[in-house]
Structure 1
Amino acid sequence: MAAKNSSSLKDIAAKLGISIATVSRALQDNPAISKATRERVAQAAREMNYSKNFIADSLRSGQLPVIGVIVPHAVTLFYSSVLDGIEQVAAQDGYAVINMNSHESYEEERCNVRSLQNLHVAGIIASVTQETEDFSHFDALAKEHLPVVFVARDIPTRNYSSVTADSVEAAHRATRHLIEQGCRRIAILCGPNRLKMVTERKHGYIEALHDNRLLVRPEYVAYSDINTQAAMQATERLLSMPERPDAIIALNDTLLFAAMKAIKNKGLDMPDDVALIGFSDVEYAEYVSPSLSTIEDQSRLMGETACRILLNHINGSPAPVKKIIPTIQRVRESSCKKR
């Protein structure tokens, strides 16, 4: 009769003074773990009569080798790219990924968090919804020592790790570019002001106007929910002003393409009537007519970085990390005025 499985990953980890995650990866012969450690773990497993039982080990340790991800728009190229970066890094470390979509709903986000808690995931990477103002559901995770890293959309507290774009500098640079093209009535199409990303990008825009001695006109700061219909309506209002803007900065790809559609519907030319630039990692921005000037957030790199930080937290590093990813400005036809 086969000997009874009398030990778990947790037992081996305790014996060797290393983390459960390290034991799990060592037993999978993961090259990220040193050969010496893999050999120590294998020897301990033999001595302790350990045999692999994924479900039992997960139940004993109270944690699955799974990372939960919550995003507001899983079908967009931006968040698909973020998720791709997360999955690649997670797989290299022996983790699977469960992705959940909040659909920009605060209540769905709360349900997503609760579901991932019930699944006993090892950690969570989240991008908050445009509705989220109460962060108590994330604070509850901290009390349970379940690590959380925010990606793309941060929350206004220093207690959590986050990976975000360099929003202030990027918006400042985009505004400067439009000023260099001769634009003087520059509008900005924003998402909800409660999002930290929105306030930072708006700050960069206002700073650039001040630096270039241009008047900040409140009527040129347009707020919209992050959906196509609302963004088109906000753009139409800008374009219907007696002194309409001669340039628009759109703060994400949904707003950018909605603004482009509204400008075309109005029969206006880009960039001569209205120059347009926006934040987007969408590849086909280069292939529409006119090709769209964009500020790329390097979304895949953001996902990779967020996952590495989360894995460090899972492995025992508690200190919050704030990582700023530089953006890349791609100047194309929609913002380059003919000279």
Structure 2
Amino acid sequence: MISGYVECGKIELARNFFDAMPQRNNVSWITMISGYSKSGNINLARELFYQIGERDLHMYNAMITCYSRNSRPKEAIELFNQMLSLDVDIQPDEMTLASILSACSQLGDLRFGTWLESYMRKIGIEMDDHLATALMDLYAKCGSIDKAYELFHGLREKDLVAYTTMILGFGINGKPINAINLFEEMVDAHIRPNLITYTGILTAYNHAGLVEQGYRCFMSMMENGIVPSADHYAIMVDLLGRAGRLEEAYKLIKGMPILPHAEVWGALLLACKLHCNVEFGEIAAQNCFDLEPETTAYYSLLANIYADVGRWDDAKMLRKKVMEKGMAKIPGSSWVESS
């Protein structure tokens, strides 16, 4: 009954049923902790965890996973260390290590991650594909892309998660062509990309400056029944904008079936700064002001566009407006004033 409520997202009903139980077994505790994890309620998950008298490996796994999935990597590692301490002395399994590797990736902690790799060998845990993919992610995020690809190449079965991890890894390590080649290999293997995969490959096309290929890839999302998010539109606006195709970028925004967020308009504004385009720059900036009025970077970009085309009074007026609002100038921005 508890698991049914949790699966339906009715966490409060699950808790009511849990509280009414005269005796609770391990499964009920773990199900509730996992339910709070899925709903992002870390505090209630932790509160339950510390109410348990004797905690076993599965309970530690549930709480460590909760921390890791909800972007609390330090707490995940602290609890892992507590689990290994002499007072507790519980040996981890594959699930524990996958969650801790994810926490290391979030922190960019390659040192602890490599210690985990040797620790696995020490306690006799085999490096299966799931653990190898988690380790790939860590190596890629820490700049060891060759080591990540070595692990990828050694996988018994390359699934969507493995391909996506490697595509994103190539992208963030400045190897867009490698990412594109791997994406094509994935498609040839009849593995259907998801939203995260498309984020990685569109970013790769953007970094490589391959506008037409990127646009075709973007359109293929909808052909495959995948609805692009605002983040995907932001990447496309950036790709078109950097290539100087500002009108196309603007039309893409206006044709969005969802409301564009500030990053979408910000991508257009950056492109307008690059190409000294006041017309679309003013439109983009106004939308950015409306969505994030306290972000000074947008005012700075528009002021610099004005300065680039010699509209010094407009640049000075923007600076004055920011000062009147009491917003601090962001570090690195270059306000230009007339003397």
Q: Would the TM-score normalized by the shorter structure come out above 0.5?
A: no
Higher relative contact order (CA 8 A, sep 6+): 1
| Higher share in helix | 2
Q: TM-score, normalised by structure 2?
A: 0.29
The TM-score normalised by the length of structure 1 is 0.29
